[in-house]
DNA sequence: AGCACA
């Protein structure tokens, strides 16, 4: 039988990073509210260092959430990609580059001139563009209740009717097969079996030789796959947090 | 659509 490309929508997964990049956000929402809400929704995945969003035309509808750990970011992507937020499904990926707050902590921070790709050309009337970058560090992040399984309405179908064919990561609907990513290349099927077979309904692990780092894990039904997914989401194998989603059928 | 921290 044939199987869909393992890779989601043909776009590569950016390398794991502690910052997530979110787009397809509802542009009508005011920035402050947007950031507050993002903070609320994402704080259960771990401590958030900063939430950034901007109002400029080039950056509308997008935001960055900087976590303290890459593991949190990874879990947040797996759990929240496609989540309806102000009536639109969030599209989430790892950020392409390291956030300044993180670089500052690293000691690798280099002031912006080096990092700018292209400067703005003259001839444009300069407009005030306010974007604020509130840092709501301690204020709003509550410690997470323990367990990620509590994401509410993922069951609502994110893309009802006509969908653009190549979304970066169109989340597959819940089903009995899990798609596991971000595994160390040397991960043995047996190791995965040990992990997943603790969950009821486990059937088998399938790994794709041609594509190291991923695996399919089949359960008897979707309730059982869901339990396993939430139980093992972000579980680290040799430092790599597993990223588990439903497989595309 | 669009990956920044002015």
Residue range(s) in chain A whose domain bears CATH number 3.30.70.330? 19-104, 177-246
| pLDDT tens digit sequence for A34-66 | 998 999 899 989 999 999 999 999 999 999 999
CATH class of segment(s) A19-104: alpha beta
Rg of chain A in Å (alpha carbons): 19
User: Across the strands, what pairs with A204?
Assistant: A218
Given a cut of 70, whether residue A128 has pLDDT beyond it is no
Distances (CA, A) of A22 to A62, A120, A183: 5, 24, 23
CA–centroid distance for A184 within its chain: 19
Q: Which single residue has its CA nearest the C1' atom of nucleotide B5? A: A100
Residue in the structure block whose two tokens are 């900087």? A66
Determine the distance between A130 (CA) and B5 (C1') in angstroms. Answer: 13
3-state DSSP assignment of residue A22? strand
Q: Are A57 and A145 in contact (CB under 8 A)?
A: no
Residue A14 beta carbon within 7 A of nucleic strand B = yes
Q: Which single residue has its CA nearest the C1' atom of nucleotide B3? A: A96
Nucleotide nearest to A93 (CA to C1'): B3
Determine the distance between A219 (CA) and B3 (C1') in angstroms. Answer: 37
Determine the distance between A204 (CA) and B2 (C1') in angstroms. Answer: 41
Determine the distance between A95 (CA) and B4 (C1') in angstroms. Answer: 10
Residue A16 beta carbon within 7 A of nucleic strand B = no
pLDDT value of position A138: 35
Decide which of 3.40.50.300, 3.30.420.40, 3.30.70.330, 3.40.50.720 is the CATH code for A177-246. 3.30.70.330
pLDDT value of position A36: 87
pLDDT value of position A10: 39
Alpha helices, DSSP H, located in A21-142:
31-42, 70-80, 100-106, 112-115, 137-140
pTM across the whole model: 0.54
Determine the distance between A26 (CA) and B2 (C1') in angstroms. Answer: 14
The span from the CA of A78 to the CA of A63, in Å, is: 17
Q: Are A216 and A179 in contact (CB under 8 A)?
A: yes
Smallest CA-to-CA distance from A213 within A246, A249, A242 is with A242
Most confident residue range from A67-76, A118-127, A139-148: A67-76
Strand B positions within 7 A of protein Cβ atoms: 1-6
């Amino acid at each position: 039988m044939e199987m869909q490309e393992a890779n989601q929508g043909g776009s590569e997964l950016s390398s794991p990073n502690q910052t997530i990049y979110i787009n397809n956000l509802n542009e009508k929402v005011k920035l402050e509210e947007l950031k507050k809400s993002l903070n609320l929704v994402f704080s259960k995945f771990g401590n958030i260092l900063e939430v950034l969003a901007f109002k400029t035309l080039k950056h509308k509808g997008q935001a960055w959430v900087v976590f303290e750990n890459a593991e949190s970011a990874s879990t947040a992507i797996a759990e929240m990609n496609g989540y309806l937020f102000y009536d639109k499904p969030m599209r989430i990926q790892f950020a392409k580059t390291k956030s300044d707050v993180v670089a500052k902590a690293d000691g690798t921070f280099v002031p912006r001139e080096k990092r700018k790709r292209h400067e703005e050309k003259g001839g444009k009337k300069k407009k005030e563009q306010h974007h604020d970058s509130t840092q709501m560090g301690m204020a709003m992040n509550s410690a997470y209740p323990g367990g990620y399984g509590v994401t509410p309405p993922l069951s609502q179908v994110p893309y009802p009717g006509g969908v653009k064919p190549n979304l970066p990561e169109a989340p597959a609907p819940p089903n009995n097969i899990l798609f596991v990513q971000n595994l160390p290349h040397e991960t043995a099927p047996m190791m995965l079996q040990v992990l997943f077979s603790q969950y009821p309904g486990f059937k088998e692990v399938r790994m794709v030789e041609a594509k190291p780092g991923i695996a399919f894990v089949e359960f008897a039904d979707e309730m059982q796959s869901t339990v396993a997914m939430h139980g093992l989401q972000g579980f680290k194998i040799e430092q790599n947090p597993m990223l588990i989603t439903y497989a595309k059928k």
